[in-house]
Amino acid sequence: MLTVRNLRKSFGGLQALAGVDITLPDESILGVIGMNGSGKTTMLNCINGIYIPDSGEIALDGASLLGLPVHEVAGSGVGRTFQVPRVFQHLSLLDNLDVAQTGSAAGNDERYALSEYWLKKVELLRLRHNYAEELSGGQQKLLELARIMVARPKVILLDEPFAGVNPELAQMLIGIIGEIASRHHCAVILVSHDLTSIYQLSHHIIVMNEGAILTQGDAATVKSDPAVIEAYLGA
Ligand SMILES: Nc1ncnc2c1ncn2[C@@H]1O[C@H](COP(=O)(O)OP(=O)(O)OP(=O)(O)O)[C@@H](O)[C@H]1O
Ligand SMILES: [Mg+2]
């Protein structure tokens, strides 16, 4: 279980996170929505060690992640994708996934099989020997997802996985994200502006506004909250 307590982060005079608490049980999907600039990406950056929060606590299965460098947070089981995908452009798809398994105790055959499994899952297997730079933006997002999954994470943080992805790919991604939680026993924090996907996938949803949680609950609760309708949908 991932727990975040009273997370705060300011940039100069701007309070990007004003005391956020989350609890992410194993195998669950937490949807995070909120206006542009409400602190969603900053929260992910604090969890995976890109930013050091000003205060608060972040722990995975009771062990603090606070102050650990990014690679150690990843090594302890937290995978992360980015709003703009970050893959190794000049490596093949297979090599991208192999690099992600550096330090794995598995032998070559087992690592290769795992890479193939995830490339097949995201429908990129036929391109396995191509360079990542030859992929479209949407395909790079899928490769990035495959790359974090071959590291067998306990938790993954997905930042806008559906942005810039065509509707068919998005539908496929929804299926994969659901399976990641249920079949691969991995918890997911899903940041997205795509409310339909958020409502469909999330077990619990938080709505962020100005660095704080405006409201939270299941899809029905969030959809009908007048504060959400006003602050988020602007109606
Ligand atoms: N490195 C930084 N330096 C200064 N300000 C920052 C930095 N990172 C984020 N911010 C500010 O913190 C606030 C929250 O930004 P954040 O990227 O977390 O928003 P977001 O909810 O992810 O928005 P979006 O939906 O547009 O992705 C914004 O006002 C942003 O300008
Ligand atoms: Mg963001």
In terms of Cβ atoms closer than 10 Å to its own Cβ (0-12, 13-18, 19+), residue 226 is exposed
Cα angle 218, 224, 229; round to 5: 115
- Chain segment 163-203, per-residue pLDDT in tens: 988 898 899 999 999 999 999 999 999 999 999 999 999 99
Of 42, 189, 191, best ligand 1 pocket probe by most atoms within 8 Å of the beta carbon: 42
Token pair of 232 as six digits: 């988020």
Distance CA 19, CA 100 (A): 33
- The answer to whether the beta carbons of residues 30 and 41 sit under 8 Å apart is no
Residue nearest to atom 8 of ligand 1 (CA): 42
65's tokens: 């992640």
**Which residue(s) pair with 205 in the sheet?**
31, 217
Strand stretches in the chain, DSSP E: 2-11, 14-24, 29-34, 55-60, 63-64, 78-80, 155-159, 187-191, 204-209, 212-217
Ligand having the closest approach to the CA of 159? 2
pLDDT digit string, tens, across residues 108-148: 999 999 999 999 999 999 999 999 999 999 899 999 999 99
Tell whether ligand 1 has an atom less than 6 A from the beta carbon of residue 40: yes
Distance 15 CA to ligand 1 centre (A): 10
Summarised one tens digit per residue, pLDDT across range 57-81 is 999 999 999 999 999 999 999 999 9
Distance 112 CA to ligand 2 centre (A): 33
Q: What Cα–Cα distance (Å) separates residue 189 from each residue in 63, 96, 109, 120, 133?
A: 19, 23, 31, 23, 27
Euclidean distance between CA atoms 50 and 69, whole angstroms: 7
Q: How far is the CA of 212 from the centre of ligand 2 (A)?
A: 14
37 CA distance to ligand 2 centroid (A)?
Answer: 7
Q: Is the CB of 11 under 6 A from ligand 1?
A: yes
Q: Tell me, in angstroms, the distance from the centre of ligand 2 to residue 130's CA.
A: 30
What digits encode the pLDDT tens for the residues 202-226? 999 999 999 999 999 999 999 998 8
In ligand 1, the atom with minimum distance to the C-alpha of 34 is: 21
Q: Convert 105-123 to b/e letters by CB count within 10 Å (16 or more is b).
A: eeeeeebeebbeebbebbe
In angstroms, rounded to a whole number, what is the distance separating the alpha carbons of residues 9 and 138?
Answer: 31
Assigned CATH topology for domain 2-83+152-231: Rossmann fold (3.40.50)
CA 100 to CA 145: how far, in whole Å? 11
Q: Which of 231, 223, 178, 228 is nearest to 203 (CA)?
A: 178
The reported pLDDT for the residue numbered 233 is: 62
Measured distance CA(109)–CA(103) in Å, rounded: 15
Please indicate whether residue 16, judged by its CB atom, sits closer than 6 Å to ligand 1. yes
